[in-house]
Amino acid sequence: MKEFTNDGTNQQHPAAMFKRGLLQTVRAGSGVLRSPVVTQRAGFVIPTKKTNTIDVYKTTPRLIPKGASPLLETQKELYDEYDPKGWKRQFLDRDGGVNAGDAVRVTKADGSTFVGLALGVKRRGLGSTILLRTKVHGTAVEMTYSIYNPSITGLDIVRRAAKKKSKAKIYYIRGNVKYDAGDLDAEIRRSERRRK
């Protein structure tokens, strides 16, 4: 198969050159034409004497009952681990539990306590937290506690809010002289002394 180029010279077609097994470059005028690279794949499987064996294992026993939610089952196990008596769940209960505006005392395993006004309670299951604010020697201090932290051994509502707050988070009391919490720890100690 022959082909004529623009300059009139007689050149072989690139496909014909490939049939002969040649990879040549054809120069035609100013441009360079290269034959395309062709790859070939085997369309058959080479037979081998080796046989593949696949191990089949017994099924594992069920970790949760059939039809139960894995998330709820795991959450139940974690509640049993971190709150076996259920007092932390009662503390977070919406009816009768802690609310924004309550004075709360947190006792830790090392014996330290912190008393503060609850600015907000985030009820997020095992990730529940409470934000407490108080003043120590005139300096405002805020602490966030994870309720289900194993190092927390006691959560007590020392004083309820005089009136239930209309908002779940009372961040507006920060810096407000009328509403801001004073030194709650000192106030509660004084009131306990008066009762005795």
Has residue 4 been placed in a domain? no
The pLDDT score that the predictor gives to residue 193 is 77
| Dihedral of alpha carbons 164, 125, 113, 135, sign | negative
- CB-based contacts of 174: which residues, under 8 Å, 6+ apart? 119, 133, 140, 180
Has residue 19 been placed in a domain? no
Has residue 180 been placed in a domain? yes
Average pLDDT, the chain: 80
Residue ranges of alpha helices (H) inside the chain are 14-19, 70-82, 87-92, 184-195
Has residue 43 been placed in a domain? no
pLDDT at residue 10 greater than cutoff 60: no
CATH code for position 120: 2.30.30.790
Q: Please indicate whether residue 4 or residue 102 has the higher confidence score (pLDDT).
A: 102
Has residue 31 been placed in a domain? no
Tell me the sheet residues that pair with 31. 28
- CB-based contacts of 142: which residues, under 8 Å, 6+ apart? 116, 119, 131, 132, 133
The pLDDT score that the predictor gives to residue 28 is 47
Has residue 157 been placed in a domain? yes
Q: The tokens of 173 are what?
A: 């009391």
The pLDDT score that the predictor gives to residue 17 is 55
Write the pLDDT tens digit of every residue in 22-39: 444 444 444 555 556 666
pTM, 2 dp: 0.62
Can you tell me which residue has the tokens 């998330």?
71
CA distances from 54 to 49, 57, 121 (A): 16, 10, 55
Chain-centroid distance of CA 63 in Å reads 24
Q: Please indicate whether residue 19 or residue 43 has the higher confidence score (pLDDT).
A: 43
Supply angle C-alpha 155, 157, 161, rounded to 5: 150
How many domains does the chain divide into? 1
Write the pLDDT tens digit of every residue in 109-166: 999 999 999 999 999 999 999 999 988 888 888 999 999 999 999 999 998 888 777 7
Phi, psi of 147 (to 5 degrees): -65, -40
Range of 99's domain?
Answer: 70-195
Give the up-direction half-sphere exposure of residue 152: CA atoms within 13 A in the CB hemisphere: 21
Has residue 176 been placed in a domain? yes
Q: Which of 58, 1, 6, 4 is nearest to 29 (CA)?
A: 6
Has residue 59 been placed in a domain? no
